[in-house]
Amino acid sequence: MPTDPDPKPLPAAHPPFELADPMSDQDRPANAAPSQAMLEHEAPTGRLAKDPYAALRLPAFRRFVIAFFLSSAGGQIQAAAVGWEIYDKTKSASALGMLGLVLAVPMLLLSLPAGHLADTVSRKSLFLFMQVSTTLCALGLMIVSWQTGGAGHGVGIMYTLLAIGAIGGTIGRPGREALMAQIVPASLYPNAVTWNSTGFELSSMGGPAIGGLILWQFNPAVAYGVAATCFVVSFLLICSLPATPVLHDEKRPAAGFSDLVAGIRFVFRTKLILAALTLDLIAVLFGGATFVLPVIARDVLHVDKLGFGFLRAAPAIGAVAMALTQARMPAFKRAGPMLLMTVAGFGAATVVLGLSHSYALSFCMLILTGVFDNISVVIRHSIVPLLTPDRMRGRVLAVNQIFVGSSNELGGLESGLTTQWFGPMGSIVGGGLASILVVIAVAAGFPEVRRLKSIEDVRPIEDDDPAALKS
């Protein structure tokens, strides 16, 4: 992606992060540089940095992003089928909320140990473990769905299987995210985040639509079988990635509680990361309507399974369109203000969605939530890894998982319960307003966000010391 020819660093007295010209491969720390085997026939970084397809020209990253795409697509197909089947069996919005709780508990309990693993063992192995657990979950759901029927039958077993998949996902996710930082040079990382986000949004667009088509023509069991197939192919692609070095930080003592919470301390002392995660936490916790889309589809808009599938895909349609646009655009010159505006826009579109009784208007608002969310995702998902030294990335990304991942699932619990209590309009409108209020609070309380310029100028906090985080 093009770089700012005249970067304007922030005043030295304010930011808790460093701004510098893009770093060459020779300047990268040895333990953060991707191996030559991974980059294979990489062209000079200076040329690639101006290329919108720069990261995709790295063979290892191409395999990584395709594996991530298939894994995400399988997850989206499975999620669409699970949401529809549970609501079909129970006719209860609170049952959909319980689904969010089942998925959130493993994240809350296991994210910190998972982050420690991502900094001490092979990140590729953690990604593979994640795919094995999700495959077993999908196959189990397929068997349960095939053999059970009628109101309420098999729902408890479905929750158990989903918890198993969530455990594997929680353990593997920090390793997967930190792995990308090992196979892509720092100068190309924002471009890699854009394409990785594009792959995710493409899967989020195609997965629910495919899930809706399968539900329309077949049944949930077939959808779970298709999801399992996606997970298996993803596993094989990950196996083809070159081995990644296990990072050894000699300054860090043996694992203990203090080492596990080092990522939390790093986040809370790095105000820009804390602000970005706070925005994500509140917007996702209160502003997401995905978990109650079956209620909106059936009880408000009165559409069938196919209509539900396209509603579920609508945010990803907007996100993909925005991601493809961003890939060809220069980096945002004022990324911080843009982050605030997009989260506010997400909240406003959510409010209109909650008030809508028109399928067309609801579909358009969901598309807009995807547009706004994609911009904020690229900014937020670039800030966190780029500000974090590689030796700390697993633990910091684990904290990111607690903020973002668990808030997504707990947001499902919140949406299900508030929908049960106040109806879909009250739940969704209230969540959108909460997103707007948190933007105002973050803009007032974290001036670092307002001052953030181009993401391409952000560099790790090189003076960070794991030992200092324990003091």
At 188, give phi and psi (nearest 5°). -105, 0
pLDDT (mean) for 286-309? 80
In a domain, 267, yes or no: yes
Evaluate whether 110 touches 249 at the Cβ level (below 8 Å): no
Q: Say whether pLDDT at 265 is over 90.
A: no
Q: Count Cα atoms within 13 angstroms, Cβ side, for 214.
A: 25
User: Nearest to residue 291, comparing CAs of 415, 157, 396, 165?
Assistant: 415
CATH number of the CATH domain containing 303: 1.20.1250.20
DSSP assigned state of 292: G
Angle subtended at Cα 23 by Cα 465 and Cα 42, rounded to the nearest 5 degrees: 120
Which domain does 123 fall in, by range?
51-245+258-470
Residues 6 or more apart from 93 whose CB is under 8 A from it? 87, 292, 295, 416, 417, 419, 420
User: Which of 327, 414, 338, 401 has the alpha carbon at shortest distance from 373?
Assistant: 338
In a domain, 302, yes or no: yes
In this structure, is residue 341 part of a structural domain?
Answer: yes
Residue 385, pLDDT > 50, answer: yes
Q: Can you list the alpha helix ranges (DSSP code H) found in 121-154?
A: 123-147
**The residue to which tokens 């007295």 are assigned:** 13
Model confidence at 372: pLDDT above 60 = yes
CA distance 334 to 245: 35
Tokens of 108: 């809350």
Angle of helix 393-445 versus helix 93-120 axis, rounded to 10: 120
Backbone phi, psi, residue 459, to 5°? -130, 160
- Does some domain include residue 37? no
Query: Among 117-126, 391-400, 427-436, where is mean pLDDT lowest?
Result: 391-400
Using DSSP's 3-state secondary structure scheme, residue 18 falls into: strand
- Give pLDDT tens digits for 4-62: 444 333 333 333 333 333 333 333 333 333 443 344 334 444 444 467 888 889 999 99
Domain assignment of residue 253, yes or no: no
Domain annotation covers residue 328: yes
User: What's the structural domain count of the chain?
Assistant: 1
In a domain, 221, yes or no: yes
Query: Does residue 463 fall inside a structural domain?
Result: yes
Pick the residue with more confidence: 130 or 304? 130
Q: Which two tokens stand for residue 400?
A: 């990111």
